[in-house]
A and B are shown apart, each in its own frame.
Chain A
Amino acid sequence: MTFTEYLTRNYDNLLELGLEHLNLVLISMGIALVVGLPLGIVAHRNKLLRNPILSTAGFFLTLPSLALFAIFIPVFGIGAPPAVAALSLYALLPIVSNTATGLASVSPAVVKASQGMGMTGYQRLLRVELPLAWPVILTGIRVSTQVVVGIAAIAALVGGPGLGTEIFRGLRSQGNASAPNLVYGGTLGVIVLALLLDAAFVLIRRLTISRGIR
Chain B
Amino acid sequence: MTTTDTLTQADPARSGAKPMIELVGLTKRFPGTAEAAVDGLTLTVDEGEITVLVGPSGCGKTTSMELINRLIEPTSGRILIDGKDMTHTNPDELRRHIGYVIQETGLLPHRTIAQNVGTVPKLLGWDKARIAARVDELLEMVGMDPATYRGRYPKELSGGQRQRVGVARALAADPPVMLMDEPFGAIDPITRERLQNEFLRLQQQVRKTIIFVTHDIDEALKMGDRIAVLRNQSHIAQYDTPENLLTSPADDYVSDFIGTGASLKRLNLSRVRDIEMATDAPTASVSAPVAEVRAALLASSWTSLLLLDAAGRPARWVTSRDLARADQGAVLAEVGLPVEAIVEPHATLADALDELIASNVGCTVVVDGSGAYQGIVDLETIMTVVRTVRDEYERFHLAQKLAQQPADGQAR
Residues on A lying within 8 angstroms of B by beta carbon are 107, 109-110, 112-120, 123, 128, 131-132, 210-213
Shortest CB distance A24–B (Å) = 33
Closest to B166 in A: A113
Q: Say whether A113 contacts B108, CB under 8 Å.
A: yes
**Are B155 and A117 within 8 A (Cβ)?**
no
Contacts A123-B123, A210-B153 known; A118 to B109 CB distance under 8 Å? Answer: no
- Taking the closest CB of chain B, its distance from the CB of A212, in whole angstroms, is 3
Residues of chain B within 8 A (CB-CB) of A116 are 69, 71, 95, 100, 102, 106
Majority secondary structure, B binding face:
loop
Question: What count of chain B residues pass the 8 Å CB interface test?
Answer: 28
- Chain B residues with Cβ below 8 Å from A123 are 123
**A contact residues around B104 at 8 Å (CB):** 107, 109
List the A side residues contacting B91 at CB < 8 Å. 118
Decide yes or no whether B231 CB sits under 8 A from chain A: no
**Cβ-defined contact, A113 with B107, below 8 A:** yes
For A124, the closest partner residue in chain B by CB is B92
Q: Which residues of B contact A212 (CB under 8 A)?
A: 108-112, 153-155
State A185–B107 Cα separation when bound (angstroms): 52
Main secondary structure of the interface of A (DSSP, over half): helix
When the two chains form their complex, are residues B95 and A117 in contact, meaning their CB atoms are under 8 A apart?
A: yes
Q: Which residues of B contact A210 (CB under 8 A)?
A: 109-111, 153
Q: Assuming A113-B105, A116-B69, A117-B123, what are 11 further A-B pairs, CB within 8 angstroms?
A: A109-B104, A113-B107, A114-B108, A115-B71, A117-B169, A118-B96, A119-B92, A128-B108, A132-B110, A210-B153, A212-B153
Give Cα distance in the complex from A114 to B110, angstroms: 13
Interface residues of B in 183-217 (CB under 8 A from A): none
Q: Chain A residues near B96 (CB, 8 Å)?
A: 117-118
Q: Which residues of chain A are near B103, meaning CB under 8 Å?
A: 109
Chain B positions within 8 Å of A107 at CB level: 104, 106, 109
Q: Assess whether B109 is in contact with A213, with CB atoms less than 8 Å apart.
A: yes
Within the complex, the shortest CB–CB distance from B114 to chain A, in Å, comes to 12
CB of A111, distance to nearest CB on chain B (Å): 8
User: Which residues in A have their C-beta under 8 angstroms from that of B105?
Assistant: 109, 113
- Of listed A107, A112, A131, A132, residue having the most chain B CB within 10 A: A112
Interface residues of B in 49-102 (CB under 8 A from A): 69, 71, 91-97, 100, 102
B123 touches A113 (CB 8 A): no
Rounded to whole angstroms, the CA-CA distance of A197 and B71 in the bound complex is 44
Asked if B100 and A113 sit within 8 Å, CB to CB, the answer is: yes
Are A110 and B92 closer than 8 Å at their CB atoms?
A: no
List chain B residues, Cβ under 8 A from A115.
71, 95
Residues of A within 8 Å of B119, CB to CB, are: 114, 117, 119
- Check B123 against A211 for contact (C-beta < 8 Å): no
Known: A115-B71, A118-B92, A212-B112. A109 touches B106 (CB 8 A): yes
Q: Per-residue CB proximity of B136-176 to A under 8 Å, as 1/0?
A: 00000000000000000111000000000000010000000
What is the CA–CA distance of A113 and B155 in the complex, to the nearest angstrom? 17
Q: Are A117 and B107 in contact (CB under 8 A)?
A: no
9 A-B pairs with C-beta separation under 8 A: A115-B95, A117-B100, A118-B91, A118-B96, A118-B120, A212-B109, A212-B112, A213-B153, A213-B155
> Bound complex: CA of A113 vs CA of B71, how far in Å?
10
Q: Provided the pairs A109-B104, A110-B107, A212-B112 are in contact, do residues A120 and B155 lie with their beta carbons within 8 angstroms?
A: no
In the complex the two chains form, is A112's CB within 8 Å of B102's CB?
yes
B131 to chain A, nearest CB (A): 14
- In the complex, what's the smallest C-beta–C-beta distance from A178 to chain B, in angstroms? 53
Choose among A118, A132, A213 the residue that contacts B95 (Cβ–Cβ < 8 A).
A118
A119 to B106 alpha-carbon distance, docked (Å): 14
- The answer for the CA separation of A55 and B182 in the assembled complex, in Å, is 42
Complex: A115 Cα to B100 Cα, angstroms: 10
CB distance from A129 to the nearest CB of B (A): 10
A131 to B97, CA, bound (A): 25
A50 → chain B closest CB, angstroms: 20
Residue numbers in B under 8 Å from A211 (CB-CB): 153
Minimum CB distance partner of B105 in chain A:
A109
